[in-house]
Chains A and B, each alone.
Chain A
Amino acid sequence: MTYVFDPTNWEWLVTGNNLRFLLEGFLVNLEIAAIAIVLSLIAGLLLALGRLARLGPLAFAVGVWVDVWRNLPLIFIILYLALALPDSWSERYESIVPGFFPEALQSGRVLGALLALVLYNSAVIAEIMRAGILSMERGQAEAAKALGLTYSQTMRLVILPQGLRRMVPATVSQLITLNKDTTLVSIIAIQEVMRHGRIVTSFNFFGGVEAPVLQVFLFIGLLFVIVNLSLSRLSRRLELRERRLTGTTVQPVSGLELQP
């Protein structure tokens, strides 16, 4: 305990550019998570609709796709794509990536990482969305049909707006998981916070003060706790506001909020 809180072991934090370097790395994690969650939500919705489609073979194929990707370890997918994606794809990515993207995201390796994150998370989100849609009472769809709405109108105007609202809490906790999972891309040498942490600890990098591994990674852990706690607080507040405004209790999709 004395070792952990010994001020000399924390000197690195206020020396040179160490703190800024770590925060810059952390920002890359958040950016990767933001891009991946947006793409995963879009792909997840399409997959959920595909799995619920009344077209047997399509629903079956999408079902297999979703079940395979969400049951594989994410790190497995990241590593596989890093090894298996053709170089031409990475070069293509490097040539089309917008210039305003941060430097760490310009590297061709980021393509594989993003693809892996989206493959995995879109499959998980598709299941959350499917549960959200299936949790609607049957009477809603029947009533819409009786009023003469087509299948796509029923989905778009009746089922989705309500079903998607129910899965806000589940989606936020998936975003928290995704935030944590962005650290895994350090394994394929993308320069984010874990890499920056190792650089800080290995060379007495900035200012020549030794940065002990334990303290550096405790600090990185703290960054994640702060951001993720704020996210879950925000989601709880949104839920309460929703409940107050609509006067209804939005039933969150159960069983899916707790995903490590």
Chain B
Amino acid sequence: MTGLWEVLREAFPDLAAGFWVTVRIVAISFLIAMAVGTLVASLRVFPNRWVQRLGGIYVETFRNVPLLVLLFISFAGLRRAGLPVNAWVAGTASLGLYTAAYVAEALRSGIFSVSPGQIEASLSLGFTYAQTLRRIVLPQAFRTVISPLGSIVIAMIKNSAIIGVSLLALPDLLKEARIEQSRTFQTSETFFWAAVGYLLLTGTATIAVRVLERRYTIRR
């Protein structure tokens, strides 16, 4: 057990730096996922079949492709094509766009749970379609799907670890643990502390979701 504490004392600065890189990746990807996810969900309920189909294609594509493939395409692929993409942009955009497909699906089921009467009432009061969605439907939709959105965000935190060990090599928590391990060969000790870091993140997210759920969820 003494080894465990010694490794922590030795590796703490690097692991902490990696922890914050992971937090930043997750925060940026979260914003992208929410913004794009909301947009795609709006496309999927738009009163035009072709626009709906466009949203459907987005969801089916990004939901069925491995994140690692997206990272290869957005980083190595675009670079070889002559577009100098930076690893942060490629990493957060891939994770964000990938997660957005799941956010869109969750939101769509939330949108369908808002009664059509409300939408008709709002349209007859002279709200435009976009206003109806933004002011009336989406606020309620978000509140009905807090719990699925929560599990999507937790999955996103876990998926963020793929960015560091892929060819993008952002110095996130797992990457730092890997570097530390190859320096000291204290495999279990180093990975134990990295696991604590990840469980801290997923655990905090779980509790946050539970609190939000209790306070805001509309049950139907």
User: Interface readout for A178-190 with B: 1 if CB under 8 Å, 0 if not?
Assistant: 0011011011000
Are the CB atoms of B202 and A217 closer together than 8 Å?
no
B166 within 8 A of A: yes
Q: For A255, give its contact among B70, B81, B102, B148 (CB under 8 Å).
A: B148
State whether A71 and B77 are in contact (beta carbons under 8 Å apart), knowing that A76-B174, A225-B64 are contacts in the complex: no
Task: State the Cβ distance, A69 to closest chain B Cβ, in Å.
Answer: 10
- Contact pattern, A 61-103, Cβ under 8 Å of B = 1, otherwise 0: 0000000100111111001100110000000000000000000
Q: Which residue of B lies closest to A71 (CB)?
A: B202
What is the 8 Å Cβ interface bit string for chain A, positions 204-238, against chain B (1 contact, 0 not)? Answer: 00000000111101101100110011000000000
Write the chain B residue with the least CB distance to A187: B165
Measured between alpha carbons, how far is A186 from B133 in the docked complex, in Å? 43
Instruction: Provide the B96-108 mask, 1 if CB < 8 A to any CB of A, else 0.
Output: 0011001001100
Q: Judging by beta carbons under 8 Å apart, are A76 and B69 in contact? A: no
Considering the complex, give the chain A residue whose CB is closest to the CB of B153.
A260
- Docked Cα-Cα span, A214 to B90, in Å, equals 13
* In the complex, chain A residues whose CB is within 8 Å of the CB of B82: 3
Q: Give the dominant DSSP class at A's interface.
A: helix
Q: Are B158 and A214 in contact (CB under 8 A)?
A: no
Cα A221 to Cα B79 in complex, Å, equals 18
Check B73–A218 contact: CB distance below 8 A: yes
Contact residues of B between 63 and 85, Cβ < 8 Å to A: 63-70, 72-73, 76-82
A71 touches B194 (CB 8 A): no
Q: Which of A84, A181, A212 contacts B188 (CB 8 A)?
A: A84
| A-facing residues in B157-203 (Cβ within 8 Å) | 157-162, 165-166, 174, 178, 181, 187-188, 191, 194-195, 198-199, 202-203
- Of A74, A212, A256, which is within 8 A of B80 by CB? A212
Task: Tell me if B105 and A258 are in contact (CB < 8 A).
Answer: yes
* Complex: A207 Cα to B64 Cα, angstroms: 31
Please indicate the chain A residues that have their CB under 8 angstroms from the CB of B78 in the complex.
214
Most buried by B among A75, A201, A218, A256: A75
A214 contacts B77, C-beta separation under 8 Å? yes
Return the CB mask of A159-187 against B: 1 if under 8 Å, else 0: 00000000000000000100011011011
Tally A residues with Cβ within 8 Å of B.
Answer: 39
B152 interface residue (CB < 8 Å to A)? yes
B80 and chain A: residue at smallest CB distance: A213
Judge whether B155 is part of the interface by a CB distance below 8 angstroms.
yes
Interface size class of B (residues with CB under 8 A): 35 or more
- Of residues B64, B99, B162, B166, which shows the largest number of chain A Cβ atoms within 10 Å of its Cβ? B64
- Is A259 an interface position by the 8 A CB rule? yes
A110 in contact (CB, < 8 A): no
Q: Which residues of A contact B106 (CB under 8 A)?
A: 258
Flag if B151 contacts A217 (CB, 8 Å): no
State whether B199 touches A68 (Cβ < 8 A): yes
Contacting A213 at CB < 8 Å: which of B72, B151, B154? B72
**B147 sits at the interface (CB 8 A):** yes
- Asked if B191 and A217 sit within 8 Å, CB to CB, the answer is no
CB proximity to A under 8 Å, residues B40-74: 60-61, 63-70, 72-73
Q: Judge if B141 is at the interface, Cβ distance under 8 Å.
A: no
Interface flag for A194 (CB, 8 Å): yes
**Chain B residues, Cβ within 8 Å of A112:** none
B102 adjacent to A260 (CB under 8 Å): yes
The yes or no answer to B156 lying at the interface (CB within 8 A) is: yes
> CB-defined interface of A240-260 with B at 8 Å, one 1/0 digit per residue?
000000000000000110111
Does any Cβ of B come within 8 Å of A132's Cβ? no
Check if A228 sits within 8 Å of B64, measured CB to CB.
Answer: yes
Q: Which of B67, B82, B106: most chain A Cβ within 10 A? A: B67
Q: Is A197 an interface residue (CB 8 A)?
A: yes
B159 proximity list for chain A (CB < 8 A): 73, 260
How many whole Å from B61's CB to the nearest CB in chain A? Answer: 6
